[in-house]
Amino acid sequence: MISQPPTLDDAQYQDDILKGVSRTFALTIPQLPEMLRHVIGNAYLLCRITDTIEDDNALTTKQTRYLSDMFSEVVCGHVAAEQFVDELYPLLSDHTIPAEHDLIKHTPAVIRVTHSFNPVQRKALERCVRIMSRGMADYQETETLDGLKDLPAMNLYCYYVAGVVGEMLTELFCDYSPDINRNKSELMKLSVSFGQGLQMTNILKDIWDDRKRGACWLPQDIFLKKGIVLRELQSGHSKPGFQEGLAELIGVAKKHLCNALIYTCLIPPQEKGIRRFCLWALGMAILTLRKINGHRDFHDGQQVKITRRTVKATVLTTSIFAGNDWVLNQLFKLVSQQLPDTAISDELFYRR
């Protein structure tokens, strides 16, 4: 299938819709070098379209899998984006926010930009969407309040949702810079852990919000050892065993975020834009994790959401010291010192 070249309107639409579907990425992506800003902004929108398919509860499991597979083919250039829009857009419910409705409607504009990238960039984006689409569809079919079977199952879920994004970003960073590419082996080893740290933090923050829609992404094995059956959890009635299980997962997430800092410090100090992109996400995650740890009896995600003032302080501090590895490590130790550690083997935390 021959793709049409993107227009200036397509590029402008990408910039505008990014602000509508994600305040966080609308903040971090502009920090990137210009050569990366465009492709990573587009990559985020592709992932957001994938996520929209998975999240709209008006779609049946069969429709979700079919449309997810179709979108992967659209990204690869094998199916027209217009056909995808014609099939998905009329099925979207009010569960999907207006900005996401608009994004789906304008999928052809996003895809025209996708198909303008170089072969390495396109391959990275195509792989990410393919793995994410299939993995998320698999997990959606087993979504219940029972939780996931065990910690390895949670790891796999986090890989499909975020770890594969870490791999994609690393491919894009290495394609952009020969200096970064020199550390590619170590960066790829850490990239999945970086993504998992961010995703685990989101899972812990959103425990009770997810339960309201019938989902639980916590591992049963961790909590069964504490005498807690996840299906029986009730908001506002946090038992000691549940808080102990939460502490274990906080320790795991902390270790992943520690790897995220190692990853960031492997980026050459002169690439301050890429470092800021990583550090802002890392900083907000570790501060959220600290808040969760201090309020393990929380029963609403708003109770452990960091304030705008905290976000601004994180942005300012990490921007000032983006090129100083020693200071960054000291800041991480200071913020995370009260978080529990994990006794789980280091093998869990690295890409195999």
CATH number at 208 reads 1.10.600.10
195 and 295 assigned to the same domain = yes
331 and 223 assigned to the same domain = yes
For residues 187 and 263, is the Cβ–Cβ distance under 8 A?
Answer: yes
110 and 188 assigned to the same domain = no
210 and 331 assigned to the same domain = yes
79 and 50 assigned to the same domain = yes
For residues 140 and 134, is the Cβ–Cβ distance under 8 A?
Answer: no
Rounded mean pLDDT, 80-86:
96
Q: Tell me which residue range forms the domain holding 40.
A: 1-129
Query: Crossing angle, helix 8-21 and helix 34-55, to 10 degrees?
Result: 60
Which pLDDT band, with edges at 50, 70 and 90, does 345 fall under? low
pLDDT 10s digits, 132-169 = 999 988 887 777 899 999 999 999 999 999 999 999 99
134 within domain boundaries: no
Could you give the CA distance from residue 153 to residue 163 in angstroms, rounded to a whole number?
A: 13
Q: Over 70: is that where the pLDDT of 6 sits? A: no
Taking the alpha carbons at both ends of the chain, their separation in whole angstroms is 35
pTM of the model: 0.92
**Distances from the Cα of 149 to the Cαs of 54, 321, 346, 349, in angstroms?**
21, 41, 21, 19
CA-CA-CA-CA dihedral for 274, 280, 283, 287, to nearest 10:
-160
pLDDT 10s digits, 46-67 = 999 999 999 888 899 899 999 9
- Residue 185 DSSP SS3: helix
Cα 59 to chain centroid distance, Å, stands at: 22
137 within domain boundaries: no
Average pLDDT across the chain, whole number? 91
* H helix runs in the chain, sequence order: 8-21, 23-28, 34-55, 61-76, 81-88, 98-105, 107-114, 119-140, 151-158, 164-176, 178-181, 184-205, 207-212, 220-224, 240-266, 272-294, 308-320, 325-336
Rounded mean pLDDT, 16-36:
87
CB atoms within 10 A of CB 184: 16
Q: Over 50: is that where the pLDDT of 352 sits? A: no
Q: Over 60: is that where the pLDDT of 173 sits? A: yes
**Distances from the Cα of 129 to the Cαs of 137, 202, 345, in angstroms?**
12, 20, 30
Hunting for tokens 């946090």 — which residue is that? Answer: 238
CB atoms within 10 A of CB 83: 13
Could you give the CA distance from residue 167 to residue 173 in angstroms, rounded to a whole number?
A: 10
Structural domain count of the chain: 2
136 within domain boundaries: no
pLDDT 10s digits, 275-314 = 999 999 999 999 999 999 999 989 888 999 999 899 899 9
304 and 171 assigned to the same domain = yes
Half-sphere exposure of 97 (CA within 13 A, CB side): 9
